[in-house]
Amino acid sequence: MKFIIAIIKPFKLDEVREALSELGVAGMTVSEVKGFGRQKGQTEIYRGAEYTTNMLPKVKLEIAASDELAPRIIETIQQTASTEAIGDGKIFVIDLVSATRIRTGETGDPAL
């Protein structure tokens, strides 16, 4: 099993979610996050005060997937979330040791 963490542009969330649903992804966790990478922040001016925001808002997706599905998920996110501009985000994958469904106690792939 794999645990996929994707940081994407907020406005891409719906598109990515739809594409992943078609792929058969049954669930994911979404959070609004802030951070910085190579994309520069933006400048805001309020009367005489100029502020540079260096933390930009992004959306973080967390998806647990079977070993078979994981590569297709990664590919789908990459293709859907890309605008070919700086700041599109990143996808991280780590090995998932176990998964348990709380209601039934199932473990492993059936729990996903």
Partner 1 sequence: MKGNHMIRKMISGVVGTGLALATASTAFAQAAMIKAPTAAQQVAMTNKGDTTWMMVSSVLVLMMSVPGLALFYGGLVRTKNMLSVLMQVFMIVAVGGLLWATIGYSMAFTTGPTPGLTPFIGGFSKALMIGITGSSSAATFSNNVYIPELAYFVFQMTFAMITPALIVGSFAERIKFTPLMVFVVLWSILVYYPVAHMVWYWAGPDFLADTPNEAGLLNHWGALDFAGGTVVHINAGIAGMVGCLMIGKRVGFGRENTPPHSLTMTMIGASLLWVGWFGFNAGSNLEANGVTLVAFVNTMLATCAAAVSWAVVEQVVHNRPSMLGAASGAVAGLVAVTPASGYAAPMTSLVLGLIVSPICFFFVTTVKNKFKYDDTLDVFGVHCVGGITGALATAVLANPALGGQGVTDYTKFPSVVATGYSTLAQLTVQFEAVAITLVWSGVVSAILFFVIDKTLGLRPAEEAEREGLDITEHGERAYNY
Placement of tokens 């106690």 in the chain:
105
Answer whether 71's CB lies under 8 Å from 65's CB.
no
Q: 3-class DSSP state for residue 74?
A: helix
Q: Per CB under 8 A, which region of 41-49, 58-66, 76-84, 102-110 contacts partner 1?
A: 41-49
Tokens of 112: 């996903």
Q: Per CB under 8 A, which region of 6-14, 16-24, 29-37, 46-54 contacts partner 1?
A: 46-54
Shortest Cβ 52–partner 1 spacing (Å): 8
* Residues in contact with partner 1 by the rule CB under 8 A: 44-49, 51, 53
